[in-house]
Amino acid sequence: MIISICGLKGSYAETAAIKMVGENVSFLYCNSFTSALESVQKNQSDFAVLPVKTSNSGFVKEVKELLFSDNYIVKQKYNLNTHHCLLALKGTDIRSIDTVYSHPKALQECSLYLNKINVSERVIYNTAAGAKHVAEHRLVNVAAIASKLSAKVYGLEIIANNIENNDDVTTFYLVGVKYY
C-alpha cells in the first residue's frame, strides 16, 4: 500500500498513517496537501493521510476546502497526540537559539514557550521539513519544532519536550477517492 502525505519522513502524518494502516506501507512524500490528494486521483498512491483539525488551533482550512472540492471519501479517522519538541544540532545550548523553524500551526501551538525563550519564528511547510532544514544546513543557533521521530530521523538533539501550550490532539483522515 502506498500512502501520500504532505511532509517528509518523521512527520506527524507519517506516524498517523502507520497507526492507521500498519507498518507495511510505502510513502509518497508531497510538498502540499493538494499534491498529496492529486496523487490519489492519479493512482500514484492508494490513500492520502491529511491533518484536518488540531485541538489547540482548530481546523486546517486548506484541507477542509480540498476535501469538499472533489470526489474524496474519508475511510478512517485517527487522533494523534502531537507532543512538540524543540530540536537542534547536538550540543546546542538553549540560550543560544535565536530562530525556530516549523509549520505555522506548530508555531501557534507553542507560542507561550517561544515567547518565553524569545526567538524569531520562520515558517516552513511541515514540521519534519523544519527539522531536516536545520540538520542539512547545520544551522547554528537555530532550532525546529517537530516530533521525537524527526529528531531521530535527522540526527538532532531534543532540547525541550512537550513545549505545546496545551496537550494537543491532531485529527488525521485517511482519504481515498469515490468511484462511481
pLDDT tens for 111-166 read 999 999 999 999 998 999 999 999 999 999 999 999 999 999 999 999 999 999 98
Cell of 143: 532550532
Angle in degrees, 0-180, between the axes of helices 12-21 and 127-136, rounded to the nearest 10: 120
Please state the rounded mean pLDDT for residues 59-69: 86
pLDDT confidence bin for 61, thresholds 50/70/90: confident
What is the spatial distance between Cα 8 and Cα 108, in angstroms, rounded to a whole number?
20
pTM (predicted TM-score):
0.87
Query: How many C-beta atoms surround the C-beta of residue 77 within 10 A?
Result: 12
pLDDT confidence bin for 180, thresholds 50/70/90: low
Q: Which domains does the chain have, with CATH numbers?
A: 2-81+168-177 (3.40.190.10), 85-160 (3.40.190.10)
Tell me, what's the pLDDT at 28? 97
- Dihedral angle of Cα 150, 41, 172, 161, to the nearest 10 degrees: 10
3-state helix, strand, coil in the chain (%, to 5): 35, 35, 35
What is the spatial distance between Cα 67 and Cα 41, in angstroms, rounded to a whole number?
12
The amino acid that residue 84 corresponds to is H
Please state the rounded mean pLDDT for residues 11-30: 95
